[in-house]
Structure 1
Amino acid sequence: MIDKLEMFIALSRERHFGRAAESCGVTQPSLSAAIKQLEDQLGVMLVYRGSRFQGLTPEGQRVLDWARQIVGDARTMKEEMRAARQGLSGNLRLAVIPTALTLVADLTATFTKAHPKVRFTILSRTSIEILSMLENLQIDAGLTYLDNEPLGRVSTVPIYAERYALILRHDHPLADRPQIGWEDLTDLSLCLLTPDMQNRRIITQHLSEAGIEAEPMIEASSLIVLISHVLKGGWATILPVKAAEVFLMSGELAAIPLQSPDASHRVGLIAPYREPHTPVLAALLDQAASLSDRFRD
């Protein structure tokens, strides 16, 4: 039953029988047969079928909720038994918003020193993708925004508050200013993250409140791309101070705090709302709480 539920979750996620089969490492006929067997066992139709996948039935949507819970609980049980035999070990899958990628090492480095048998897979994803991946059991935890947009039923550990700065080359005319207001960014050639990023939506909102329409010259999904353009000269970007720190070490860039307002948005670790958590995930949540205390001090 668990294997069939895993295939059903994959089908709901991929919305395509072939891709779902590939993600599960089985043939498409095997996956189709497993879904049909699951329907026969439950006595309801789960999937609208035609020449291709056409969505879940209302019963299928309800079964999907149960499937996520049952599969998640089964994985938790296996992980707990493994921890009892071997101590904390395995692979933690973590998805991170781009502006927190430079922070993630603060979380993982200390954790892996304490638990050397635990490995990490770290993915860069948008806040919306992180929630979807968490719901579909594709990741174990996410590092994302805790405010602004609904998170649903998750466990959260706040770690730090994002504050924003204008990032310029050190020889830019504005580089020696102690601070700058959002309303002063009117004539700058900005490069910003793409609109699917929550950071971009936050910045667009603050610019709008200052009477400025966000029309960046460059849009990118990577901080490296933004910083590369700033270094070429002529462009500026807006980043959280913590995200910019690693780029400021070269001395070629300046970070001017943005005021009026001094905007602040919480970032933290999220995990499925499940008790108990796997031992390794519970340890990661504890590590996140310790990191939060460090940033607060």
Structure 2
Amino acid sequence: MELRQLKYFIKVAELHSFSEAARQLNITQSTISQQIRQLEEELNVELLIRDSHKVMVSDIGLAFLPQAKQTLLDAETCIENIHDVQQLNVGELRIGTTPTFSTLLRETVQQFMKLYPGIKVNIFLHSVETLMGLLDKQEIDLALSYKSHQVYPSIESHIIFDNRLALIVKSGHPLAARTSVRLADIKQYPIALPAKGMQARSAFDRMTTHGHMHFDVRLEVNDVNMLLSVVKDNSLMTFLSEATVKHFQGVTAVRLDEANTDMEGSYHVKKNVYRKKATREFLRVLKETSPYGLAIMELL
């Protein structure tokens, strides 16, 4: 059964005439007759009753007619929906991000939603390990995080900007005026750490693995905004990427003069699968709205 056969049958049924249907559809009468005959043979029924004077719709044809119209309408709606998705008028975008990285997405998400109000955006906050699992199962379209040191064979990752772990202190802190600090300068001060599982905490642990230093840890928090608020309002200091605090007032990022402080902003997608146009467009908006001078990305 073909859509054109349904279209021809509907037109003849409405006009009770092969010749008039052919004229309105701008095709030959023999083409219409042949296609409807093939439809009847496939269904093994008589849809139209023909004689030399007129065309009537059979009882089976009358029962079939509303379903044929609905099928044709559904097909046309499907085509319109595909066009809307292609034009980003409708659709869904599922983005996963780590808590440490999530603070960087506010402007991008707002701009994307402004440009494409018909796209529903779902954002999920998880550890990078969980995000890679969701990507592998195709439960999210895109993941954004700092580069993981673990290799995921089914995932491809692209660096979008370079950044580093920094010491974060309130603006009036004694170390706020320093251009850089060493860990030895920090150990006398009380600190608040990102909770284990957060990427900034993983970067901190890598940096301090071989230092054999002990720090006065007073607090561990798994929420970046709460951590920054605590630092802003107290004498505690913490460790986050420089990018995380770019727009947060009342705190200062001080460079760490240590090895293993790299935190490269990255996006991740599953290998060898279809890339939504919305995914590619979100990455373009991210590139344009980021204040970190994103490297040129391969917009998939």
TM-score normalised per structure 1: 0.63
Deviation sequence 1:230-264 (CA, Å, 0-9, x none): 133221101111101222x2xx3222111133722
CA RMSD between the two structures: 2.8
Question: Does the CA-based 8 Å contact 2:92-2:120 persist in structure 1?
Answer: yes
Question: Does the CA-based 8 Å contact 1:195-1:201 persist in structure 2?
Answer: yes
Secondary structure in structure 2 of the residue aligned to 1:226: helix
Deviation sequence 1:96-154 (CA, Å, 0-9, x none): 11221121134334433443322312222111111122223332211113341223312
Which position in structure 1 is the counterpart of 2:37? none
Does residue 255 of structure 1 match 2:256? no
Which position in structure 2 is the counterpart of 1:84? 83
Which position in structure 2 is the counterpart of 1:179? 180
Question: Does the CA-based 8 Å contact 2:146-2:266 persist in structure 1?
Answer: yes
| Letter of the 1:129 counterpart | T
Instruction: Go from structure 1 to structure 2 and tell me whether the alpha carbon gap of 1:110 and 1:274 turns closer, same or farther (over 3 Å shift).
Output: farther
Map of 1:147-296 to 2, 5 A cutoff? 147-213=148-214, 216-247=217-248, 249=249, 252-261=250-259, 263-288=261-286, 294-296=293-295
Question: Does the CA-based 8 Å contact 2:161-2:293 persist in structure 1?
Answer: no
> What is the rounded CA distance, in whole Å, between the counterparts of 2:198 and 2:258 in structure 1?
23
Which position in structure 1 is the counterpart of 2:106? 105
TM-score normalised per structure 2: 0.63
Deviation sequence 1:195-232 (CA, Å, 0-9, x none): 12232111111123333246632111101221222133
Which position in structure 2 is the counterpart of 1:133? 134
Q: Which has the higher helix share?
A: 1
Deviation sequence 1:61-102 (CA, Å, 0-9, x none): xxxxxxxxxxxxxxxxxx999443442222211111122112
> What is the rounded CA distance, in whole Å, between the counterparts of 1:80 and 1:290 in structure 2?
32
Secondary structure in structure 2 of the residue aligned to 1:265: coil
The offset of 1:286, in angstroms, is: 4.5
Secondary structure in structure 1 of the residue aligned to 2:108: helix
Question: Does the CA-based 8 Å contact 1:183-1:207 persist in structure 2?
Answer: no
Instruction: Go from structure 1 to structure 2 and tell me whether the alpha carbon gap of 1:225 and 1:80 turns closer, same or farther (over 3 Å shift).
Output: farther
- Give the greater-gyration-radius structure (CA): 2
Unpaired segments ≥5 residues, structure 2: 1-77
Instruction: Go from structure 1 to structure 2 and tell me whether the alpha carbon gap of 1:179 and 1:109 turns closer, same or farther (over 3 Å shift).
Output: same
The farther-off stretch of 160-169 and 284-293 is 284-293
| Letter of the 1:183 counterpart | A
Instruction: Go from structure 1 to structure 2 and tell me whether the alpha carbon gap of 1:107 and 1:157 turns closer, same or farther (over 3 Å shift).
Output: farther
Question: Does the CA-based 8 Å contact 1:102-1:246 persist in structure 2?
Answer: no
Unpaired segments ≥5 residues, structure 1: 1-78
The farther-off stretch of 220-229 and 277-286 is 277-286
Question: Does the CA-based 8 Å contact 1:183-1:211 persist in structure 2?
Answer: no
Deviation sequence 1:250-288 (CA, Å, 0-9, x none): xx3222111133722222111222343222223334545
